[in-house]
């Protein structure tokens, strides 16, 4: 049976739910098919950069996000001896019209989910539907699900994440690209660090790197702090969003990281959640769309999670795709028009995240100082040069102030 006007969305993550909300806003009916039996709060923290918040504000969800998050006011770069390299204002503090937030990933997801259920209706977000393939015949599209009846539709959008079944249909031999870097992510309840609104990067990828930021206030000057450590490694493992991690696999790299402003080993030991995740992406491809099917979010452009940009790009995909579908008389042409805008833009970010990661300030300073403590950083590099490096990355990643405004 072919459902006439309805758009089928495979995957109820950030891309899928925001696409459903964007379509609804433009009067286009859709239905989300999510593999998980129920949607619940999973994962650790995520950063929403101002361009992600611009998209959420357009959906009327910025207030709820801000209430569930910590607003970042500054970003600070440190070497592995805890010495400050460079500090800059962030979000509204830096003159952006939208804030930059640290938020529990599950809270972000549940805000999107509740909005989708209340605006579209609960029957439009269908759980327990694991897509295993998509077939097309003429102008009809048919989605196949594990242990379920197939679903017909005119248009299907694969929003099923980094291991997308819809993408696999088009690229059956494609593999994940492992960057040789393993990550462990944790959340620790602790006394707030620096301003309590600071995003911090410590060390460089060559000797072990940590990114940390608060995601919730616990009262009494305590916060939930989200942290990610990256260590270069040779052996790829199958990625899994929620694989439990083991402290003994990485603590040794950080055992001497005791600064007057943060005791890293203590923070790691205090984690109440700990997950392991290898850094993977996929090579940009030449096409996302075929007939009545296209891809969005991580299914289209999985990227190394080191520029805090994946969710933002998924949200932008959702808006652009909904705009094109609303404008078009031919929906298949709309998929191509969406792809013509979004594929080149996101391919650039995937490649930039590989070659030019946002911790290159830390890498550059480690190179210049021989990875040793310094007395006077200015002898090696000026603050203006560091600022230029930071601005350059923001332009590539699409969140320079002029672009977001
Ligand atoms: C360690 C890590 C840290 C990150 N930190 C940040 C950050 O700070 N800021 C940021 O912007 N981004 C970050 N990202 C990236 C961001 O989380 C992703 O880019 C974003 O979640 C993409 O959304 P999505 O909806 O495309 O995919 P997902 O969020 O992965 O959602 C996919 C959905 O599809 C469902 N699904 C999967 N397969 C099927 C199937 N076969 N059938 C039906 N449903 C299916 C899944 O259950 C899931 O609900 C991070 C990523 C990682 C790995």
Q: Over the stretch 239-255, which tens digit does the pLDDT of each residue have?
A: 455 677 889 989 999 99
Mean per-residue pLDDT over the chain, rounded: 92
Q: Is ligand 1 within 6 A of the CB of residue 159?
A: yes
- In 3-state terms the chain splits into helix, strand, coil percentages (rounded to 5) of 35, 30, 35
Structure confidence by residue, pLDDT tens digits, 175-199:
888 878 888 999 999 999 999 999 9
Token pair for 18: 């925001």
Sort strands 30-33 and 7-10 into parallel, antiparallel or unpaired: parallel
| Non-local CB neighbours of 326 within 8 Å, separated by 6+ positions | 23, 26, 27, 28
Q: Kindly state the tokens that stand for 336.
A: 């191509």
Q: What is the pLDDT of residue 128?
A: 97
Q: Which atom of ligand 1 is nearest to the CA of 36?
A: 47
Among 102, 103, 311, residue to substitute to test ligand 1 (most atoms within 8 Å of Cβ): 311
User: Which residue's CA is minimally distant from atom 53 of ligand 1?
Assistant: 305
Number of domains in the chain: 1
- Ligand 1 in contact with 297 (CB < 6 A)? yes
Q: Please give the distance, rounded to the nearest whole angstrom, from the Cα atom of residue 15 to the centre of ligand 1.
A: 8
**CB atoms < 10 A from the CB of 104, how many?**
23
Which residue minimizes the CA distance to atom 37 of ligand 1? 160
Q: Is position 306 within any domain?
A: yes
100 CA to middle of ligand 1, Å? 19
Q: Given this model, what pLDDT does residue 2 score?
A: 46
Q: What order of strands is seen across the sheet that includes strand 100-104? A: 45-48, 100-104, 70-72
Give yes or no for residue 46 CB within 6 A of ligand 1. yes
Residue 106 lies in a domain: yes
Domain presence at residue 323? yes
Residue 228 has a pLDDT of 95
Span 93-99, average pLDDT:
95
Tell if the pTM clears 0.85, that is, is over it: yes
| Domain assignment present for 50 | yes
Ligand 1 pocket mutation pick from 42, 163, 169, 305 by most atoms within 8 angstroms of CB: 305
Phi and psi for 269 in degrees, rounded to 5?
-65, -25
Q: How confident is the model at residue 10 (pLDDT cuts 50, 70, 90)?
A: very high
321 part of a folded domain:
yes
CA dihedral 348, 350, 355, 359 (to 10 degrees): 110
Mean pLDDT check: name the lowest of 9-18, 49-58, 93-102, 227-236: 227-236
CA dihedral 400, 403, 404, 405 (to 10 degrees): 120
12 CA from centroid of ligand 1 (Å): 9
**Residue 299 located in a structural domain:** yes
Q: Tell whether ligand 1 has an atom less than 6 A from the beta carbon of residue 308.
A: yes
Residue 331 CB contacts under 8 Å (≥ 6 apart), including other chains: 154, 155, 292, 325
Extract the tokens encoding 248.
């003994």
Asked, for residue 48, whether it belongs to a domain, the answer is yes
User: Is the Cβ atom of 33 under 6 angstroms away from ligand 1?
Assistant: yes
**Residue 11 near ligand 1, beta carbon < 6 Å:** yes
pLDDT tens for each residue of 263-314: 999 999 999 989 888 888 999 999 999 999 999 999 999 998 877 889 999 9
Q: Is residue 363 part of a domain?
A: no
Ligand 1 center–CA 307 separation, angstroms: 14
Kindly tell me if the per-residue pLDDT of 346 is higher than 50.
Answer: yes
**Is 211's C-beta closer than 6 angstroms to any atom of ligand 1?**
no
What is the position in ligand 1's atom list of the atom closest to the CA of 300? 26
What is the C-alpha separation between 348 and 141, in angstroms, rounded? Answer: 30
Closest residue by CA, ligand 1 atom 50: 305
Paired tokens of 321: 């795709």
Domain containing 308: what range? 7-70+99-176+285-355
Domain harbouring 27, CATH code: 3.50.50.60
Residue 15 CB–ligand 1 contact under 6 Å: yes
């Amino acid at each position: 049976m072919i459902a006439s006007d309805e758009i089928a969305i495979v995957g109820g993550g950030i891309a899928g739910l925001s696409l459903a909300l964007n379509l609804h806003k433009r009067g286009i009916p859709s239905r989300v098919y999510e593999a998980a039996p129920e949607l619940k709060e999973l994962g650790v923290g995520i950063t929403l950069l101002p361009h992600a918040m611009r998209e959420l504000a357009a959906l009327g969800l910025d207030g709820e996000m801000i209430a569930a998050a910590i607003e970042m006011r500054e970003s600070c770069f440190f070497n592995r001896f805890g010495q400050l390299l460079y500090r800059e204002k962030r979000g509204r503090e830096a003159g952006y019209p939208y804030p930059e937030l640290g938020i529990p990933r599950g809270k972000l997801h549940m805000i999107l989910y509740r909005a989708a259920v209340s605006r579209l209706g609960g029957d439009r977000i269908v759980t327990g539907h694991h897509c295993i393939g998509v077939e097309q015949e003429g102008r009809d599209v048919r989605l196949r699900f594990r242990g379920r009846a197939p679903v017909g539709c005119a248009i299907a959008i694969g929003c099923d994440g980094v291991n997308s079944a819809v993408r696999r249909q088009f690229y059956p031999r494609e593999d994940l690209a492992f960057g040789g870097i393993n990550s462990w992510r944790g959340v620790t309840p602790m006394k707030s660090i620096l301003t309590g609104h600071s995003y911090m990067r410590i060390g460089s990828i060559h000797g072990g790197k940590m990114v940390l930021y608060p995601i919730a206030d616990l009262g009494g000057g305590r916060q939930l702090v989200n942290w990610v450590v990256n260590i270069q490694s040779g052996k790829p493992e199958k990625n899994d969003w929620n694989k439990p991690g083991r402290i003994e696999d990485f603590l040794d790299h950080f055992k001497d990281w005791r600064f007057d402003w943060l005791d890293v080993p203590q923070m790691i030991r205090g984690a109440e959640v700990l997950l392991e995740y290898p850094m993977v992406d996929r090579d940009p491809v030449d096409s996302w769309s075929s007939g009545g099917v296209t891809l969005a979010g991580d299914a289209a452009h999985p990227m190394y999670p080191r520029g805090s940009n994946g969710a933002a790009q998924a949200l932008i995909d959702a808006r652009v795709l909904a705009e094109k579908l609303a404008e078009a008389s031919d929906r298949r042409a709309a998929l191509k028009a969406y792809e013509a805008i979004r594929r080149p833009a996101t391919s650039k970010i995937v490649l930039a995240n590989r070659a030019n990661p946002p911790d290159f300030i830390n890498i550059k300073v480690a190179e210049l100082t021989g990875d040793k403590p310094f007395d006077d950083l200015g002898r090696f590099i000026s603050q203006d040069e560091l600022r230029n490096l930071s601005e350059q990355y923001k332009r590539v990643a699409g969140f320079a102030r002029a672009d977001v405004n």
